[in-house]
Structure 1
Amino acid sequence: MANNDDLAKSHNRLLENNRAWAADKQLRDPDFFARLSAGQSPEFLWIGCSDSRIPAELITGLEPGEAFIHRNIANLVCNTDLNVMSVINYAVRHLAVKQIIVCGHYGCGGVQAAMTPKDLGLLNPWLRNIRDVYRFHEAELDAIADDDARYKRLVELNVEEQCRNVVKTAAVQQSYALNRYPVVRGYVFGFNDGLLKDLEIDFEAMLGNVQKIYNLAT
């Protein structure tokens, strides 16, 4: 059971840290909050996992206003998820982001759960999207004997598939046809070294393959 005093201390720590952060920003850059309140024009849309250990701005050194952020379990981009579809539409059509990054991470609990043959209740429909990724790449994954290596590869393939789902959207296809942006990239974060691995997604090739069936550019 949570101790009320401990909860109060944790709550107060958030507010104290916020005051310290605001004071430091004001000292280092007196115009910072004036610029922040004037509006946003981020270059990046970041679609990441909800895992608390991967704060996008901290691991990339981005400042407030530089990235539009969306996070969910296992960094999924599902066409039936109005939340992520709305985020992509707004980021592309209204904020005119230049780059969209899908970032997964090794040790992802969502991916691990999807590899577990177990009824997980409400999570089943969500995790089915990752299980579908496994099905798409079943031959490659089943050929990997080591469980940990197979798990890591599924993390990477999941990021690639979510990048493909981003490319399938009308907003991305139409904006790229008109403006040559946004470009879609896939990263995987490693807890062991704190580094982002660029999966080097061939965006042009992916777009071309997607549009053979999912052409929404006009």
Structure 2
Amino acid sequence: MIEELFTRNIRWAAGRTRADPEYFRRLAAQQSPEYLWVGCSDSRVPANEIVGLDPGELFVHRNVANLAPPQDANFLSVLQFAVEILKVRHVIVCGHYGCGGVRAALSGQRHGLIDHWLQPVACLCRRDAAELEAITDFDARVNEVCERNVLAQVAAVAANPFVQDAWRRGQTLAVHGWIYSVQDGLLRDLETSVDGAAGARRLDGRRRAPPPPRRRPRIEGPR
């Protein structure tokens, strides 16, 4: 079974070369992405593919529930490298409906070590408990938390010292919050973009209070 992956790799590389003989030469020459993608580890959400970009055009960091914790050295290393070395112009925090990490945090059950990682989501659920409990359908409640979690992570990225320092230097940098539906393959903009310190402060203030209800596209069934 493992050996089959090497066979698939050979076929993939050969197919790429046939379609575009310069493809790997271009990739090897330079990495100069304009975007940092902070997304979920879920295997159904392949960052490059859903935005139609080649690997060298998108710098990617993924973890369970697309978190941006200021204590995580892995995330901080990626963020600093993207902002200070690659000079990306956009940081995109992208969640997805039906996220298993969000579902685990919302369930209230013990799952082991992952519970520690998901504390930011669990805290959000406790903060907004009254509003969330009013959503009787559990799948719909999960999806609402998925959106709120993206908003919280955008605020966390915008408040990060690496991002704040970039704005202080006059660097062009914006942070965006998107969400993806596995069911229809489409991205949705949560309209929470921020491109400067003043906007980050306003966004942080919004994060401390439950966000007001927003109209969103209706998607039937689990996402």
Within the candidate set 54, 65, 69, 1:74 is matched to: 65
- Taking the aligned partners of 1:168 and 1:108, their CA distance within structure 2 comes to 24
Residue 215 of structure 1 is matched in structure 2 by none
Residue 27 of structure 1 is matched in structure 2 by 18
- Taking the aligned partners of 1:77 and 1:194, their CA distance within structure 2 comes to 24
* Equivalences for residues 73-92 of structure 1 within 5 A: 73-92=64-83
* TM-score after normalising by structure 2: 0.83
SS at match of 2:169: helix
Within the candidate set 195, 201, 214, 1:208 is matched to: 201
**Bigger radius of gyration, 1 or 2?**
1
> Deviation of residue 127 (structure 1)?
1.6
Residue 4 of structure 1 is matched in structure 2 by none
* Equivalences for residues 55-204 of structure 1 within 5 A: 55-204=46-195
- Taking the aligned partners of 1:145 and 1:26, their CA distance within structure 2 comes to 52
- Taking the aligned partners of 2:201 and 2:114, their CA distance within structure 1 comes to 33
- Taking the aligned partners of 1:210 and 1:64, their CA distance within structure 2 comes to 31
1:199 aligned partner, one-letter code? L
State the Cα deviation string for residues 130-172 of structure 1 (Å, max 9, x = none): 0112233334323333322221110000011111111111111
Deviates more, 1:128-137 or 1:200-209: 200-209
- Taking the aligned partners of 2:54 and 2:4, their CA distance within structure 1 comes to 22
Deviates more, 1:142-151 or 1:36-45: 142-151
> Deviation of residue 211 (structure 1)?
7.6
> Deviation of residue 174 (structure 1)?
1.9
* TM-score after normalising by structure 1: 0.85
- Taking the aligned partners of 1:102 and 1:177, their CA distance within structure 2 comes to 21
- Taking the aligned partners of 1:37 and 1:109, their CA distance within structure 2 comes to 35
- Taking the aligned partners of 1:25 and 1:167, their CA distance within structure 2 comes to 37
SS at match of 1:121: coil
Cα pair 1:112 1:151 within 8 Å, conserved: yes
> Deviation of residue 14 (structure 1)?
1.8
2:149 aligned partner, one-letter code? N
- Taking the aligned partners of 2:130 and 2:171, their CA distance within structure 1 comes to 35
> Deviation of residue 20 (structure 1)?
2.1
- Taking the aligned partners of 1:129 and 1:181, their CA distance within structure 2 comes to 28
Cα pair 1:164 1:206 within 8 Å, conserved: no
Within the candidate set 27, 35, 39, 1:44 is matched to: 35
Give structure 1 stretches of 5+ with no counterpart.
Answer: 1-6, 213-218
- Taking the aligned partners of 1:178 and 1:139, their CA distance within structure 2 comes to 41
- Taking the aligned partners of 2:5 and 2:134, their CA distance within structure 1 comes to 47
Give structure 2 stretches of 5+ with no counterpart.
Answer: 206-223
